[in-house]
Amino acid sequence: MREIVFDTETTGLDPQSGDRMVEIGCIEIINRVPTGRTFHAYFNPGRAMPSGAEAVHGLSDAFLSDKPAFADKAEELLEFIGDAALIAHNAGFDFGFLNMELGQCLRDPVCRSRMIDTVALAKTRHPGAKLSLDALCTRYGIDRSHRVKHGALLDAELLAQLYVELTGGRQIGLGLVASAANDAQAGIVIVRERPYREPRPHAPSERELARHAAFVATLVDPIWAQAR
């Protein structure tokens, strides 16, 4: 099962009021295991970066000035995500910006039926707990010491680890059942040698028989004697 974990950075909180996406980071996972394939891009938003947003992600007007527009990277992004499910933390926010940018360059929006929200998953597993990415990484022991500011690819990498934990833990990526099924389908028979062990004795010893007989002799009017 192929899935894409992604995160975005933006100029603000509302794509409908003119805010734009300035960074996206995507991590490919198959059967809950990262494959090493990623997509990462910065975008020139065509507008000034508010100081509040820059304080969050550190992306300045000067840094973004020579970056491509989203439209220039849209085809490459769509090719990378394909038809996979898309996982994000507070996914409605990221989908809102992704589909706004796709609409700006006359591309079809990504259907929200493909959306998996890790905030919703965490809320189900930990009702009443803090649901920020930082708080959940701390809960699951995911190292985030290198996360000084928000960054789309870094946050997607952390989120990929968190998603695995929220959906059952790291062991679900081992694929043992699938591997066995594939071997059987391919006609592969795996023979595992086991060391020979002598059978364990199960018959009672003479001493045990004698002790049992002595115990039975102490019973008064046993029920099995009444049935004779």
**134-162: pLDDT as tens digits:** 999 999 999 988 776 788 999 999 999 99
Quickly state the pLDDT bin for 64 (edges 50, 70, 90).
very high
* Active-site annotation, residues: 150
**189-210: pLDDT as tens digits:** 444 455 666 666 677 788 888 8
Residue 26 within any structural domain of the chain = yes
**Contact present, 86 and 95 (Cβ < 8 Å):** yes
Cα distances from 79 to residues 28, 65, 71, 187, in angstroms, run 12, 25, 13, 35
Residue 54 within any structural domain of the chain = yes
Residue 47 within any structural domain of the chain = yes
Residue 19 within any structural domain of the chain = yes
Residue range of the domain that includes 86 = 2-183
Count of beta carbons in the 10 Å neighbourhood of residue 105: 13
pLDDT, residue 209, reads 85
Say how many domains are in the chain: 1
DSSP at 50: P
pLDDT, residue 189, reads 45
Alpha helices in the chain (DSSP H): 51-57, 61-64, 70-81, 91-104, 118-125, 133-139, 152-166, 176-185, 206-217, 223-226
Residue 138 within any structural domain of the chain = yes
**65-117: pLDDT as tens digits:** 999 999 999 999 999 999 999 999 999 999 999 999 999 999 999 999 999 99
Residue 195 within any structural domain of the chain = no
Residue 150 within any structural domain of the chain = yes
* Residue of higher predicted confidence among 84 and 228: 84
* pLDDT over 60 at 176, yes or no: no
**Contact present, 107 and 92 (Cβ < 8 Å):** no
Instruction: List the CATH number of the domain containing 147.
Output: 3.30.420.10
pLDDT, residue 228, reads 57
What are 129's two structure tokens? 């707990």
Residue 134 within any structural domain of the chain = yes
